Structure 1
Amino acid sequence: MHTIVALLLAIFFTLEGLYSTSVKPTIKNLHIKINSLPPEFEDFRIAMVSDIHAGPSVGKHRVFEIVETVNSLNPDAIAIVGDFVDGYIKNMANRIEPFKHFHAPYGVYGALGNHDYFFEPVDNWITYFSEKLGIKMLVNDAVLLKKDGKELCFVGTDDLLADFLNVRGHILDVEQALSQCPVNISTIVMAHQPNGAAKVLREITRLNRRVDLILSGHTHAGQMFITLPFGYLFNIYFFGHYFYAPTDTQIYVSSGINYWGPPLKMFPSLCEIVNIRLLKA
């Protein structure tokens, strides 16, 4: 009897997990109140998507669906927060071709994730995303978004995995990433791993720099029931909206749009695109 119950539960959770990853993405609306946000950036909208994982089971149709859904939000800017692909350029080129159709008046920006290091040399991906797909990759780099004479600093770090790899020119360098941001300007940082976000918080404390919001992904909110405890235990921030009082910084960890490995996720709501609206506190 126990065996039959276990088998039925396994079948149920597998089918439910497959269903969760096959339906249209969930839109998560997130209002972020920022102290001293320039009035010109009141109601500025950022579409955040992370963990696309284009690869063996995430094909062109799913990528097109993500792009179409993001564009339907009419965002001012788009943030792609790491783990674009699981594969090589020669195999992925057709699958990720829809990326070039992302559109936002203030730009489409990307930060590296750990999976972007796993196959193709990461510098090849940086060049490909930038030159072929029109995604401005921010690798310890920043841009100043300008609106009616005021500015918002938008930053991307390298992935935390780079701190443990011997890849020339790659390390999560917060000081370098923020070097183009004027002091005390409203600042948003993309850092794929929540533990990378924790490094950002430690560094801005040391550097006495301002960061209002950090966007992360990576954890998939556990992805599957059996892996959930490990995701929770090994990440300083796991899933959702956090506040770090010492630096007045908010952190949002997305559950990601897709999955890693088997096409399973606990709930459809965990395949999310985050529709961020900036508000003056």
Structure 2
Amino acid sequence: MRSGFNSIFLVIFLLLLDIHVFQAVRTMVYMSAPRVRNISYILYWSVSILCLVTVALLPYLKWETWPSHIRSYVITIIMCLVIAKLLVAVFLLIDDLRRGVVWLIRKFSSEKPVVAEGVVNGLTRSQFLNRLGLIAGGGLLGTLMYGFSNKYNYRVHKLKLAFKNLPASFKGMRIVQISDIHSGSFANREAVLKGIQLINSQKADLVLFTGDLVNDRADEMKHWMDVFSQIKAPMGVYSTLGNHDYGDYYPWPDKTPNGYSAMQHANLERLKSIHGELGWKLMMNENVILERNGERIALLGVENWSALKRFPRYGDLKRAYEGVSHIPFKILMSHDPTHWDAQIRPEFPDIALTLAGHTHGMQFGVEIPGLKWSPAQYFYKEWAGLYKSGDQHLYVNRGFGFLGYPGRVGVLPEITVIELA
């Protein structure tokens, strides 16, 4: 009942937004031929009404039970349209404020000055702002829609890192890092298989997965076991858990008032076993010693640990560190990059390399020579790529999969190859 009531207010808001933005559309085409105007109006209101009807009916369609990829597309398209229209509305608001100021000057000035509307490139200021708003909103909408085609467009990022404490036998060792698979979002088996083949083609000595195998539930992996079990490496495949792996965001029907759910607990235990069935060694606040020619390095893996209160903190780095203080070179897998500044650097300065994921680079941004930007940087100090402090390094993988928005713009899905030197 409450969700239906909320949807009514949302529909009213969206309808008012549609009416407001339509003024810009009408201004844009008012000098066009009648046929062009009619087509523009019909197209605008057909899409808008379809969006409004969908939003109004969502509470009654049990959309939570839809296949995840269909649900994500429907919700994302609606959100893209709303965001684009809100951007147009910003420009219209600027024009409304400008015209309001002009009206006040004319009304209260004793000299009754004549304030010219002004012309920019043959357009009045209002026409210019309306068109600029439509271009900005349409450009954003087109960009987000284009991003749908990039969600399986895997990119290999290669880097060579030198460490003074690295034993000679491990120089030249190749590590592949992947992160944030989110198997519940996948719908294209062939595309994902190409990503797995790309991973194996790197001929890594060691493969490390830094969490978020699923969105919420272990059964999301049911149709992907034979795909991800193909990932192999001579020194093994190791993994950790991410915040989504615990099922904390899923509405388990048996959850008690104190937050316990037997179904959620069983789901987590099943997910842990899946790692083993894939042939991966799940690191639960523990470590393993890797040997070459009698020389050793330590690999540590912790459960999810975040410095942000909205994410769970199950990791225990002190426990994972036990028994390896004498090993000169250590690699840590920790899903959330905020762990690095909050605990790893200040308390464990001998951990040379930390591998994280989690941010996805917000799946939206610009990464070109001389410019690296994403909304993720306003939430995370370290959000994508390599970071260094003294002798310590952090690498934040941009994610193999996707969540929520079924696409990528600028920040593409990543397979990281690190060569130790």
Question: TM-score with structure 2 length normalisation?
Answer: 0.59
Post-superposition CA distance 1:34-59 (Å, at most 9, x none): 11211110100000011111113355
Post-superposition CA distance 1:121-150 (Å, at most 9, x none): 3232112211x1111001111111111111
**Are 2:177 and 1:48 equivalent residues in the alignment?**
yes
Corresponding residue of 1:240:
385
Once residues 250 and 58 of structure 1 are traced to their aligned partners in structure 2, the CA distance between those partners, rounded to angstroms, is 35
**Are 2:346 and 1:217 equivalent residues in the alignment?**
no
More divergent stretch after superposition (174-183 vs 141-150) = 174-183
Once residues 273 and 145 of structure 1 are traced to their aligned partners in structure 2, the CA distance between those partners, rounded to angstroms, is 22
Compared with structure 1, are the counterparts of its residues 223 and 236 closer, same or farther at alpha carbon in structure 2 (3 Å cutoff)?
same
Letter in 2 for 1:275: V
Identify which of 141, 150, 154 aligns with 2:299: 154
Q: CA deviation at 1:66?
A: 2.5
Post-superposition CA distance 1:173-228 (Å, at most 9, x none): 111111132424211001111112232223315xxxx2110001111122225994
Compared with structure 1, are the counterparts of its residues 41 and 74 closer, same or farther at alpha carbon in structure 2 (3 Å cutoff)?
same
Match of 1:275, SS?
Answer: strand
Gaps of 5+ in 2: 1-130, 251-263, 367-372
**Are 2:337 and 1:191 equivalent residues in the alignment?**
no
Post-superposition CA distance 1:213-244 (Å, at most 9, x none): 00011111222259943x21222312221112
Compared with structure 1, are the counterparts of its residues 87 and 171 closer, same or farther at alpha carbon in structure 2 (3 Å cutoff)?
closer
Match of 1:276, SS?
Answer: strand
Once residues 393 and 268 of structure 2 are traced to their aligned partners in structure 1, the CA distance between those partners, rounded to angstroms, is 29
- State, as a whole percentage, how many aligned pairs show the same letter: 27
Query: How do 1:27-66 residues align onto structure 2 when only pairs under 5 Å count?
Result: 27-66=156-195
Q: CA deviation at 1:163?
A: 9.5
CA contact (8 A) 1:163 1:172 kept: no
Corresponding residue of 2:279:
134
Cα RMSD after superposing both structures: 2.6
Compared with structure 1, are the counterparts of its residues 277 and 241 closer, same or farther at alpha carbon in structure 2 (3 Å cutoff)?
same
Compared with structure 1, are the counterparts of its residues 9 and 164 closer, same or farther at alpha carbon in structure 2 (3 Å cutoff)?
closer
Match of 1:252, SS?
Answer: strand
Match of 1:10, SS?
Answer: helix
Once residues 162 and 126 of structure 1 are traced to their aligned partners in structure 2, the CA distance between those partners, rounded to angstroms, is 24
Post-superposition CA distance 1:65-92 (Å, at most 9, x none): 2221111111000001111112423342
Query: How do 1:28-107 residues align onto structure 2 when only pairs under 5 Å count?
Result: 28-107=157-236
Larger radius of gyration: 2
Q: CA deviation at 1:63?
A: 3.5
Compared with structure 1, are the counterparts of its residues 51 and 91 closer, same or farther at alpha carbon in structure 2 (3 Å cutoff)?
closer
The alignment of Structure 1 onto Structure 2 pairs a total of residues equal to 267
Identify which of 345, 348, 373 aligns with 1:201: 345
Match of 1:238, SS?
Answer: coil
Higher helix share: 2
Letter in 2 for 1:276: I
Once residues 289 and 365 of structure 2 are traced to their aligned partners in structure 1, the CA distance between those partners, rounded to angstroms, is 41
CA contact (8 A) 1:60 1:97 kept: no
Identify which of 241, 244, 260 aligns with 2:403: 260
CA contact (8 A) 2:152 2:192 kept: no
Match of 2:274, SS?
Answer: helix
Once residues 323 and 205 of structure 2 are traced to their aligned partners in structure 1, the CA distance between those partners, rounded to angstroms, is 21
**Are 2:155 and 1:5 equivalent residues in the alignment?**
no
Identify which of 141, 145, 153 aligns with 2:290: 145
Letter in 1 for 2:146: E
CA contact (8 A) 1:126 1:137 kept: yes
Once residues 244 and 9 of structure 1 are traced to their aligned partners in structure 2, the CA distance between those partners, rounded to angstroms, is 39
Once residues 80 and 112 of structure 1 are traced to their aligned partners in structure 2, the CA distance between those partners, rounded to angstroms, is 9
Identify which of 397, 400, 412 aligns with 1:270: 412
Corresponding residue of 2:105:
none
Higher strand share: 1
More divergent stretch after superposition (174-183 vs 30-39) = 174-183
Letter in 2 for 1:234: F
CA contact (8 A) 2:330 2:353 kept: yes
Question: TM-score with structure 1 length normalisation?
Answer: 0.86
Match of 1:55, SS?
Answer: helix
Gaps of 5+ in 1: none
CA contact (8 A) 2:214 2:220 kept: no
Q: CA deviation at 1:7?
A: 4.4
Corresponding residue of 2:146:
16
